[in-house]
Structure 1
Amino acid sequence: MSTARHDRRESSPIPLLDPPFWDAYDPNFPDSDGRPMADNQTQYKWMVTIAEGLDDLYRDRLDVLVACDLLWYFDPDDRRRCCAPDVFVAFGRPKAPRHSYKEWLEGHAPQVVFEIHSPSNTPAEMGRKLRLYDGRGVEEYYYYFPEEAAGQFDGWRRGPGGLEPIASTDGWTSPRLGVTFEAPPVDNALVLRRPDGEAFQHVQDIMKDRRAMRRLARVERRRRRAEQGLREEAESRRAESERLARDERLRREESDRLREESDRLREEAVRAADDERRRREAAEAEARRARDRAERMAARLREMGLEED
């Protein structure tokens, strides 16, 4: 397919509300080509990692289809003209289950294709696939050989002459996907990073991380419970200390009140004793004065020759 034809298909995609053609099984275009999804666990792991990572990246885009090992038919008159890319992404197509991807119904070819090397792949076959994807108008094509000594990762991007090799894929960011590829030549591990920098993970790694997070959550819950226990114990000690301080304050206040009451009673007793002493002294003084008057009166009577009766 020429680039011009590809561009015309891109400019007038089938609306998202077209009939749900993917619901009906068409025996003329089988779901399977009779070949296994993957030849080995390594290939399967990378197919799932890339497909699931892309599917999650576009989880909120209803117009982006991510497919893994889905048969892609090119010709409505010849079901032999098909292929099953390990992973492909079709923008402008509904995110819905399909028996196959029929290009004449979808309106255009997938824009991005991934292939993971398997032992059955030959250079001739991979060259044929490259020519096929180029002819169908694929915009970006990526090929990963995870078991290669240096973890070979190659890419092609559509240019004026069709699919052209990407000079360096290490650090390359897909124009269509926004995904950055890191292909270090030492540890054989391809890394795909989302626009936010988070790396794609295989489901087993995700589950391992999830288990680790659950363990950490349990440890954190125990830590919080221990801290809560310490806070409650400290609060109990503080409350007990405040209670003891309050009791001591009340004891001191009661002691001060009793001392003040004792001082008041002692002062009253002293005042009463003083009053009684002054009263007694006054009575004694009055008695002396009365006695003196009586003696003076008796003396005068004697002087006058009068005897007191």
Structure 2
Amino acid sequence: MATSQIEVPTPVDINYPDSDGKPMSDNTKQFRWITVIYYNLDWLFSQDENVFVAGDLLWYPVEGNNKLRQAPDVMVAFGVKKGDRGSYMQWKEGGIAPQVVFEILSPGNRLTPMNQKQVFYNRYGVEEYYVYDPDRNDLSGWLRGENGLDVIEEIKNWVSPRLGIQFDWSEERLQLLRPNGEPFIGYIEISQQLELARQEVEQERERAERERERAERERERAERLAERLKALGIDPEALD
């Protein structure tokens, strides 16, 4: 009598798209803020291989569900290796959810999608959530407590527990400060600083070259003087 074998169903391959088809930003101001926050945080943690910083990257929190996703403007995941990714599939990252998320608003943002984002971030483990509207200079923040994300009541001069950066916010402007007090800067300022550093290095190189040439001339002059003294029958060392 032949025995029948139970067929074990193979898991269906699920495609997790790397793009949701939405633009990264709606205007130059929003884009500038996103890139400034992203690059400065990436720079801040550049020496730590276990801090992953990304911008506009799709985050899938649940394996098997490719509809459940968000693309934070900027997110930071501690305990996750640096490296390129098409998307952030949490089950492939040791189950670690991004701990810090930033959203930069534009005039095109609507209340319902933003509320949905907050529910998503609250449900799937974000510890710190910051929303900034550069047109209105309106800053809001949430910090995870016992019952989920709680509003940060005093956001002025707030220091992020995870990032160590300060939100130097007033009614006039928002300035983000690194842990050492230096402000976040944009690409132009970074380029200017790099150019100044390059000029200082070049000036130091030129100074060192002039010093080397001066020392070489002094050595040659001393050798010529010693030769003349020897020609006169005088031992130059006896003059020391």
* TM-score, normalization by structure 2: 0.76
Matched, 1:80 2:67: yes
Matched, 1:204 2:196: no
Aligned to 2:176: 192
Alpha-carbon displacement from aligned partner over 1:257-280 (angstroms, at most 9, x marks no partner): xxxxxxxxxxxxxxxxxxxxxxxx
Which structure: greater helix fraction?
1
5+ residue gaps, structure 2, are 1-12, 219-240
Who wins on radius of gyration, i.e. which is larger? 1
Deviation at 1:215, TM superposition (A): 5.8
Distance (Å, rounded) in 2 between the aligned partners of 1:105 and 1:143: 27
Distance (Å, rounded) in 2 between the aligned partners of 1:61 and 1:136: 24
Distance (Å, rounded) in 2 between the aligned partners of 1:79 and 1:128: 16
Tell me, what secondary structure is at the counterpart of 1:81? coil
Aligned to 2:17: 30
Matched, 1:138 2:126: yes
Tell me, what secondary structure is at the counterpart of 1:133? helix
Alpha-carbon displacement from aligned partner over 1:138-169 (angstroms, at most 9, x marks no partner): 10000111111xx1111100012211111122
Kindly report which structure 2 residues correspond to 1:34-53, keeping only aligned pairs within 5 A, or say none. 34-53=21-40
Aligned to 1:125: 113
Distance (Å, rounded) in 1 between the aligned partners of 2:98 and 2:130: 13
Deviation at 1:114, TM superposition (A): 0.4
Greater alpha carbon shift after TM alignment, 204-213 vs 101-110? 204-213
* TM-score, normalization by structure 1: 0.60
How many residues get paired? 208
Distance (Å, rounded) in 2 between the aligned partners of 1:78 and 1:214: 50
Residues 217 and 37 of structure 1, relative CA distance in 2, 3 Å threshold: same
Matched, 1:171 2:157: yes
Alpha-carbon displacement from aligned partner over 1:4-53 (angstroms, at most 9, x marks no partner): xxxxxxxxxxxxxxxxxxxxxx9701111111111111111111111111
Deviation at 1:211, TM superposition (A): 3.4
Choose from 47, 65, 72 the match for 1:60: 47
Distance (Å, rounded) in 1 between the aligned partners of 2:59 and 2:195: 37
Matched, 1:161 2:147: yes
Deviation at 1:135, TM superposition (A): 0.7
5+ residue gaps, structure 1, are 1-25, 237-309
Distance (Å, rounded) in 2 between the aligned partners of 1:96 and 1:181: 28
Distance (Å, rounded) in 2 between the aligned partners of 1:172 and 1:178: 10
Root-mean-square deviation (Å)? 2.9
Are 2:80 and 2:96, in contact at CA under 8 Å, matched by a contact in 1? no
Deviation at 1:66, TM superposition (A): 0.5
Aligned to 2:76: 89
Aligned to 1:296: none
Alpha-carbon displacement from aligned partner over 1:70-109 (angstroms, at most 9, x marks no partner): 1101232221111100000111111111111011222121
Distance (Å, rounded) in 1 between the aligned partners of 2:178 and 2:166: 7
Tell me, what secondary structure is at the counterpart of 1:118? coil
Letter in 2 for 1:123: L
Distance (Å, rounded) in 1 between the aligned partners of 2:33 and 2:151: 22
